[in-house]
Structures are given as structure tokens and as C-alpha cells.
């Protein structure tokens, strides 16, 4: 299995072992870390997570060194409100799901240079492009940024952070999409917390083309791409960590571990490590 980092509301960020049933190694963190949501890696190799409770983002190495935080609570430049997702493009651009501000933040670097925001609060009669009810999980892929907005029950893909590229799933496609992953070929995989299994789509507006079901799959809560044709996922309420692999026969799911059995009881996100 690929090396994985996992964020946990109690333990902070941990590194799962090659055998994920072995006890994980915690990434040392200063006191008062907060509540990590979302995981990604920035170009210098450090892990990136959003600290929801303290409205900031954090970067650090796997051994806890080079710890750095950016942002404060608010709605201005350099500020976040309970962020719940992070993503990094191949070019190294950092994206933050600024959940409580109903927007996406993009930065050229961790220090906030190139700060750009996109989006505002959804409202009755204003549900079109640029409107979010609480963007949570985000992933960057070949087609741009994919945003899960569970409070609006929809998935959005943005080739650029502008209304012109807004591509949204149709109403009723999802009820509570909380997790997304994008394979290198652009395939979007969505986990809906009120529906069993994983949904496959080529684009949000194209709708669901395939559904992956399996005995251990209940409500998918977090996804991480691990190769061109595979991803890792964990599910609620079982906290089953699974590998999901695409081959000629289709999608295959295997159970790798129970996260709660290795002390990960409140996981929120996964990320592949080199």
C-alpha cells in the first residue's frame, strides 16, 4: 500500500505504516495545534493542512520540523474562517477551501503571495456561478480545481477561478458530497456522506457515470489518489481504510485496516506520501 498521511482531530497528523494495521507515527506538533482538516503536499515536500478551529493553514515536514502557520481568523486578505480543505496544483499553487467565508482562496506560495479569492455565500435566488454554501474538500486535477460543497449538495469544477469556467453537478445528483479525488486522467471520484459507495464522473455537469460499491464501503469520508489508477479511502462509520484500484475488470476494493484499531478515531483526510 502507498504511504499515507492521515489527519485526526485528536492526534493531529500521523503517518501510517507500510502495514497500516501497525501503530502510526505521529507528526510532532506544537501545543494547541487545533483541528486539522484536509491534507496535501506543497512543492518543498512539506505537508499542508487547514486548522479549522484556529482559521489558519499549517505546513510542516513529516518529522514535525519546519513548522509554519499562515493566516488568521477573518474575511480579509490573509484571513480564513474555519477552513476545511486544502489542495496543491502541479504548478505548486495552493488552494484553500475557506469554508466559513464561502470562498476558495488561491495563493502562489505558503506566505500568501498571489492571494486570490473566488466565491461568495449562496442565497435564495442566487445559486449560480461563484456561489458556495460551505466548500469543504478540494482537489486539483487536470481539469482544474474540484470543489465539494456538501451544504449545497453539489460538486463544482473550476478550470480557472472565474464564473466562466463554473461546471456544476445538477441538482439531485448528490445529497452530501464531502470527499473528492481526481485521478491523473481527470476522472473525478466523489464520496457522498449520505450515500453508500463512490461515484465516478468525467465532469460535474456530465453526471455520475459509474458507482463503486463494496461490502466494506458505507459512507466515504476522505479520498487520496495513490497512483494513476488507484486511490485510498476511508469510510464511516467503520473507519475502514481501503484501496480502490481500477484494472481491466473494473474497480476493485480491498480492506487494508481499521483506522480506529490503530488509534485514529477522528480522521478527516488522507494524503499520499512519496
Partner 1 sequence: MSASIRVLTYNVQMRSWAMEAGAQGSLTPYENVEDRAKLISKRVLGSEWDYDVLCFQEVFDEDGRDALISHLKGKYPFRVEKAQGDSVSTVCATLLGVAGYAATIPGGAALSIVAGVIGLILIPFSKFEDSGLMIFSRIPFDGIPVPAELQDIVGQDKIPIVAFVEYEDSVWDDSAASKGVLYAKLVQDGKAFHLLNSHTQADATDNVEAHKDIRRKQLNQAFDLIKTMTGNVEDAEILMCGDLNIDGMSHPTTGFRQEWTERFNTPGAPFTKVLHDSWMHEQSPGDVRLGMLTLPDWFDRGMTVHNQRLDYALRGRGPLNGRRAMQHMCIAYDIATDATNPTSYVSDHLPVRIDLDLDRPFASIATSEQINMPIGSGDKIFDGFLVEGQMHWICIKDPGGYAIDLTLGGPDVRMDIFTADNLSVPVKPFSIQDEGGPRQEKMTRFALPLAPFLIRIAHPSRRGERRYRVRVHRYAGTSRLDAIPLQRNVPFVAQAKVGAPHSLNDPSTPDFDEMDTVWFCAALDTELDGSLNANSTISINNSDMDAFGLLVVASKPGSTDLALLDKVDAGPAVVSQVGYDRPLNGYFLAQRRDPSFTAERFTITLKSNVSYLYGNPNNAGSRARTMARLFCRDETDGFLGSEAGSDDIQINVSVGGQLRVHIPNSDELEFDDDSFRDLPQINMVRYIDSAEFELVELDDLSPADRTSIQIPSFDMLANTDKVLEGIGASLTVQLSLVFNPAEDDDDDDDGVYDLQITVSCEPPP
- Under the rule (CB under 8 A), what is the footprint of partner 1? 9, 37, 52, 84, 121-124, 127, 133-134, 136, 150-154, 171-172, 175-176, 178, 193-194, 218-219, 221, 236-240, 258, 260, 265-266, 268
Q: How far is the CB of 101 from partner 1 (least distance, A)?
A: 14
Q: How far is the CB of 11 from partner 1 (least distance, A)?
A: 12
Q: How far is the CB of 218 from partner 1 (least distance, A)?
A: 7
Cα 252 versus chain centre, distance: 22
Q: How far is the CB of 234 from partner 1 (least distance, A)?
A: 9
Element (H, E) at 106: strand 103-107
- How far are the Cα atoms of 54, 70, 104, 110, 133 from residue 73, in angstroms, in the given order? 7, 10, 15, 16, 19
Q: How far is the CB of 151 from partner 1 (least distance, A)?
A: 5
User: CA-CA-CA-CA torsion for 264, 267, 272, 274, nearest 10 degrees?
Assistant: -40
Pick the closer one to partner 1 by CB: 107 or 264. Answer: 264
Pick the closer one to partner 1 by CB: 89 or 238. Answer: 238
Pick the closer one to partner 1 by CB: 110 or 174. Answer: 174
Query: Can you name the residues that pair with 147 across neighbouring β-strands?
Result: 138, 156
Element (H, E) at 58: strand 56-60
Distance CA 210, CA 225 (A): 18
Pick the closer one to partner 1 by CB: 91 or 215. Answer: 215
State whether the Cα torsion 165-171-172-177 is positive or negative: positive
Pick the closer one to partner 1 by CB: 61 or 255. Answer: 255
Q: How far is the CB of 269 from partner 1 (least distance, A)?
A: 9
Pick the closer one to partner 1 by CB: 200 or 216. Answer: 216
Pick the closer one to partner 1 by CB: 169 or 230. Answer: 169
Counted residue by residue, the chain has a size of 274
DSSP reduced 3-state for 17: coil
Peptide bond into 98 cis (omega under 30): no
- How far are the Cα atoms of 26, 37, 67, 174, 204 from residue 48, in angstroms, in the given order? 15, 10, 10, 28, 26
Q: How far is the CB of 237 from partner 1 (least distance, A)?
A: 4
Amino acid at each position: 500500500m502507498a504511504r499515507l498521511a492521515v489527519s485526526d482531530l485528536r492526534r493531529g497528523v500521523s503517518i501510517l505504516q507500510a502495514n497500516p494495521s501497525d501503530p502510526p507515527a505521529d507528526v510532532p506538533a506544537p501545543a494547541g495545534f487545533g483541528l486539522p482538516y484536509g491534507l496535501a503536499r506543497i512543492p518543498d515536500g512539506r505537508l499542508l493542512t487547514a486548522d479549522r478551529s484556529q482559521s489558519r493553514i499549517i505546513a510542516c515536514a513529516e518529522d514535525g520540523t519546519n513548522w509554519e502557520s499562515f493566516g488568521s481568523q477573518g474575511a480579509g486578505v490573509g484571513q480564513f474562517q474555519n477552513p476545511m480543505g486544502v489542495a496543491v496544483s502541479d504548478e505548486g499553487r495552493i488552494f484553500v477551501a475557506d469554508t466559513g467565508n464561502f470562498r476558495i482562496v488561491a495563493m502562489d506560495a505558503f506566505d500568501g503571495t498571489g492571494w486570490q479569492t473566488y466565491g461568495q455565500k449562496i442565497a435564495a435566488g442566487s445559486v449560480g456561478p461563484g456561489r458556495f454554501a460551505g466548500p469543504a474538500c478540494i482537489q486539483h486535477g487536470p481539469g482544474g480545481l474540484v470543489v465539494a460543497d456538501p451544504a449545497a449538495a453539489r460538486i463544482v469544477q473550476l478550470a480557472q477561478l472565474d464564473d466562466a469556467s463554473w461546471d456544476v453537478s445538477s441538482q439531485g445528483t448528490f445529497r452530501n458530497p464531502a470527499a473528492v479525488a481526481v485521478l491523473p486522467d481527470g476522472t473525478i471520484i466523489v464520496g457522498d456522506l449520505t450515500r453508500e459507495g463512490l461515484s465516478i464522473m468525467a465532469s460535474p455537469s456530465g453526471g455520475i457515470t459509474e458507482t463503486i460499491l463494496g461490502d466494506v464501503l458505507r459512507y466515504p469520508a476522505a479520498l487520496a489518489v495513490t497512483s494513476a489508477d488507484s486511490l485510498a479511502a476511508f469510510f464511516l462509520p467503520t473507519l475502514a481504510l481501503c484501496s480502490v484500484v481500477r484494472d481491466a475488470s473494473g474497480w476493485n476494493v480491498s480492506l487494508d485496516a481499521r483506522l480506529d484499531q490503530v488509534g485514529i478515531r477522528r480522521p478527516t483526510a488522507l494524503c499520499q506520501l512519496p
